[in-house]
Every structure is written in structure tokens, then in C-alpha cells.
Amino acid sequence: MANTLDRRAAVKSLLSNRGDMLVLTGLGGTCWDAAAAGDDPLTFYLWGAMGGAAMVGLGLALAQPERRVVVITGDGEFLMGLGALATISAEKPKNLGIVVIDNEHYGETGMQPTHTGRGIDLAKLAEAAGFAATSVATDEASLAKAIAVAREAPGPALAVFKVSAAKHPLVLPPRDGAYLKDRFRGALLGAQSVL
């Protein structure tokens, strides 16, 4: 598959007109992509919890069943936590969408190739695990469908955005973990929940 999508433009399209959707990012590049699309109190940036984004997203989806939860993570981070596919599928959260920004590289550790560049198909793995919906976007024509799967399809849903490995300038969201937790919790549950 050709990786032709621009990751920043794809994430911006994913997050445009998001309403009250809860967003959780994986580490590094996905944090910066979400921040570049517009920082929002209903976005929780994990920053460095490699391998854990999908499971944190599952917990959030189970805790907030009336809200759509979208996890934005990279292929390297997602590959590190593949066991999450089975747990998520067993729990069957209808409100969970996972977007994998797949540039076929470990961007945070030196651009070493990941297994997706060697034929591992994350959408097929999710489908085999029992995800209700999957989609792969390889170009602008297929991006709209993949976004709809992530944002609207009964979950668990997984959308893979095949993006180029081009570097983008850093757009850093807040980095203070306690601040991010309090901000997210306040936006989700109200100001009293932070006290």
C-alpha cells in the first residue's frame, strides 16, 4: 500500500467539527498532530505511555458509554500493544474508535521500519480479533470513509491512515500530566470533579 496521506491534514480532518468527542492520543507524533489540529480540553495526550493508548481508550469508553471515544495512535505504539485487540474485542465497546497513523516507522526512536512496512495489516488483525468495523485510508478518496468508521461506526472500530513518513514541525500540547488530567476531567465531568 502506498503511504500518500499527509498525517497533519488527515488528523485535522478527523478532528474537525468533533463536538463532544473524547480524544486520546498515543505518544509523540500523534500528540503533535492532535495539537496542530487545535488543542482541546477534551483531548488527553498520553505523551510517553508507549503501548497503552488503546487500553486507556478502552477504559475511557467503558467509563463513558454515551460518548464517542477516539484513540489516535501510531503504528509503532499500536504494534507494541497488540494484545489490546483481544481485550477490546471481548469487551465490545460500541463507542470506541481507534485511528492508527501508519507511516511504517518508529518515529520516536529513529525511524526504524515497523512490521506494517513488511506486510502486517493492522485492519485485518483487528477484524480477525472481532472488531465490528475496520477501514484503511491510503489516499484522499478513502480518507472520508476511514474517518466515518473511526467517528461513527458501532465499535469497536479501527481505521488505519497510511501516511507518508515526512517530518512535520513540532506542535507541542501541554506536557504537565497533572494539568492535562485535571483539564480533561474538568471538561468531561465539570469543574467540581477537579477539586
The letter for the amino acid at 81 is G
Q: Find, among 159, 160, 168, 155, the residue nearest to 34 by Cα.
A: 168
- Scored b (16 or more CB within 10 A) or e, 85-96 reads beebbeeebebb
> Which pLDDT score is estimated for 109?
64
> Which pLDDT score is estimated for 191?
67
Does 192 have pLDDT greater than 90? no
Which alpha helices (DSSP H) does the chain contain, by range? 7-15, 29-37, 53-63, 75-80, 84-91, 122-129, 140-152, 177-189
Tell me how far the alpha carbon of residue 95 is from its chain's centroid: 14
> Which pLDDT score is estimated for 183?
85
The letter for the amino acid at 59 is G
As given in the structure block, the three cell numbers for residue 45 are 495526550
The Cα 114–Cα 41 span in angstroms is 32
As given in the structure block, the three cell numbers for residue 175 are 506536557
Q: What is the pLDDT of residues 117-143, one digit of tens each?
A: 777 899 999 999 999 999 999 998 899
Tell me how far the alpha carbon of residue 187 is from its chain's centroid: 19
> Which pLDDT score is estimated for 11?
96
Q: CA–CA distance from 10 to each of 33, 34, 88, 144 (Å)? A: 9, 10, 25, 9
Does 145 have pLDDT greater than 70? yes
User: For the chain, how many helices (H) and strands (E)?
Assistant: 8, 8
Q: Which pTM value belongs to this model?
A: 0.89
- End-to-end Cα spacing for the chain: 49
The Cα 57–Cα 132 span in angstroms is 16
Confidence of residue 20 (pLDDT cuts 50, 70, 90): very high
156 preceded by cis ω (within 30°)? yes
Does 110 have pLDDT greater than 60? no
**Local structure of 71: helix, strand or coil:** strand
Q: What is the pLDDT of residues 23-70, one digit of tens each?
A: 999 988 888 999 999 999 999 998 777 778 999 999 999 999 999 999
Q: What is the mean pLDDT of the chain?
A: 88
